[in-house]
Amino acid sequence: MRLVDYLDKGAQLGANAPCLVMGDATLSYADVQRISWRVAKALARAGIGPGEKVAVLSSNDPHAFATVFGISRAGCVWCPINPRNEASENAFVLDAFDCACLVFHGHYAPMVEQMRAHLPKLRALVCLDAPQPFAVSMNAWLDGLDTQPVDIAPPDDLAMIAGTGGTTGRPKGVMLTGRNLETMSALTLMGYPFDGRPRYLALAPLTHAAGVLCLPVMALGGCIVIMPKPDLGEFLSLIERHAISHTFLPPTLIYMLLQHEKLASTRLDSLQCFWYGAAPIAAARLEEALDKIGPVMAQLFGQTEAPMMVSMMSPREHFNEDGTVARGRLSSAGRPGPLVQVAAMNADGQLLASGERGEIVVRSSLVMAGYYKDPAATAEASRFGWHHTGDIGYLDDEGYLYIVDRAKDMIITGGFNVYSVEVEAALMQHPDVQDSAVIGLPDDKWGERVVAVLQLRPGCTLDANEVMAFVKSRIGSVKAPKQVEFWADLPRSKVGKVMKKEVRAMLLDKTKDST
């Protein structure tokens, strides 16, 4: 299936049913189809043909998301551009991915103006909401085009090129095919509860997990309620107002939601599935969510190169057969999906036995076609015939996957390997800690010392010695932090992940300033 097929499938189930909702505005499936037909014709009229790359730069917006289906309808390739990136990084992505057209929201016109002189490959600039001195408005671009159905065959199965986070250098272009997204959608529909037409609330960016999770929802003719910006109070109001059945938040936002004053008074009984993922979640906070939000929490683990559903844990798997919380399982990333093979591998390419730690590797039609115009990086990621995730972990005897750390985040202190995720899990057991980041810093004695940066819950105070003793009592002195910092907030990515690279850089700068 192509991206646009999910829209058409939903339309077959009810053309007049609500598809995209934001505020008081609703686009039906028929409305989104009409937009997609006109966008496809506009691309063809602009000389942008099948297989060419079309970028969309916008915060969450129904018309921006509807445009994605027009790109697919034209046989083109969607390139989501992250509005939170700096102009220089987005300019690099647009050029490296050979984008021929950029559709953008007027809010980002200054960024586009800054970038466009460096983008000779762009042949069309279209502003979604208003004309710009250097770009045509969407209304003018579509002017004169009818809403008769059109469907232009793509040259191959490439559906989208998504940029990696760029945490290890310049972003790479992950080539995701229709088959990849179909596998992801199939796993979603297999692994989680869907009773009736789903009503999905998208707070997280549609350019990331929140966007591709819309595809299985649309295949069932569901409604997608879009939030233009993060607001947890509004998030709770929308769950109640629209009787939301499915939603997704990264752990950092879940931690904040658990402290929100409106949570206890909000009706949540419509929820069937509250996905969490994109970063490890603290088992203590997950148990708190099961109590305060309900028995609807559902884990997913994946990455851009193998989207969303490498492993899954459905709501019912969070509980034992007798109804008690399966505490030992809460720190896992669930079990590999039925269409996915997962293993732990050592540096020599040998698969390891249950319980043995190694790099998590994946085989599945979920895995990307490769990195765009980067055969060396593609070969490196697919060594020994498996996709290498860069995560360290193991599988237990029941097949549950445990992620110990990112390989690059492992700390070697005094000759011992310390996994930052394990230290963070111990820190998050403290009732006064809202979020944490653990990194290694150079140390003359230990080689690297374990450093913990904590964000405390509102109104709480702790001292460093108390934190060190708390962690030592749980996981021992080697893994306990040698340095503890308290920050009002932690730097986060567009999907809510704590940016350890930035935490480390800020601490190194602080060390330099003090010497």
Which CATH number covers residue 85? Answer: 3.40.50.12780
Angstrom distances, CA of residue 169 to CA of 13, 350, 375 = 44, 28, 17
Determine, yes or no, domain membership for 80.
yes
Q: What is the predicted pLDDT for the residue at 290? A: 96
Q: Which residues of the chain have pLDDT under 70?
A: 165-169, 209, 406-409, 414-417, 494-496, 512-515
The predicted structure's pLDDT at residue 320: 94
Domain range for 486 is: 410-514
Instruction: Provide the domain count of the chain.
Output: 3
* Domain identity same for 379 and 317: yes
Q: Are residues 415 and 394 in the same domain?
A: no
Rounded to the nearest 10°, the torsion over CA 290, 291, 295, 300 is -10
For 94-127, give one letter per residue: b (16+ CB within 10 A) or e.
bebbbbbbbbbbbebbebbeebbeebeebebbbb
Same domain, 194 and 135: no
Same domain for 417 and 441? yes
The pLDDT value recorded for residue 512 is 66
Whether 461 and 353 share a structural domain: no
User: In this structure, what are the phi and psi dihedrals at residue 430, rounded to the nearest 5 degrees?
Assistant: -75, 130
pLDDT tens readout for residues 203-252: 988 877 678 899 999 999 999 999 998 899 999 999 999 999 999 998 88
Structure confidence at residue 168 (pLDDT): 44
**64-109: pLDDT as tens digits:** 999 999 999 999 999 999 887 788 888 999 999 999 999 999 999 9
Same domain, 380 and 415: no
The predicted structure's pLDDT at residue 515: 54
> Helix, strand, or coil here: 265?
coil
